[in-house]
Amino acid sequence: MSNQDERYQAALRIARRKVGFIRHAAIYFIVIVGLAVINNATWSGYQWWLWAAFGWGVGVTAHFFSAFFFQSGTLVDRIARQEMEKMNGQK
């Protein structure tokens, strides 16, 4: 596999993670709005939908950081490239 193919595969994995997050966030928004509407249409005294919004929101937030900041392998790849550059400089 060539270097160009490897870079394309890595870019494809990153793009899939980001699209996965966007889907997750869209579904979260639709469901939470639906729960809020149901809650307020049936009984507006206690806002129970906020518990679901908070709990699921923690997961959506973790997914965001995973997709956009902490992509697995990125740090290892960067350190490996730095080490390879050091080795090439020593020759």
Region 54-68 average pLDDT? 94
The pTM is what?
0.72
How do residues 22-51 score in pLDDT, each as one tens digit?
999 999 999 999 999 999 999 878 999 999
pLDDT band at 14 (very low <50, low <70, confident <90, very high): confident
pLDDT band at 74 (very low <50, low <70, confident <90, very high): low
Residues 20 and 15: their CA atoms lie apart, in Å, by 8
Residues 21 and 17: their CA atoms lie apart, in Å, by 6
pLDDT at 69: 82
Helix axes 3-42, 49-68, angle to 10 degrees: 170
Nearest 5°: CA angle at 58, between 57 and 62? Answer: 115
Candidates 28, 49, 27; CA nearest to 39 is 49
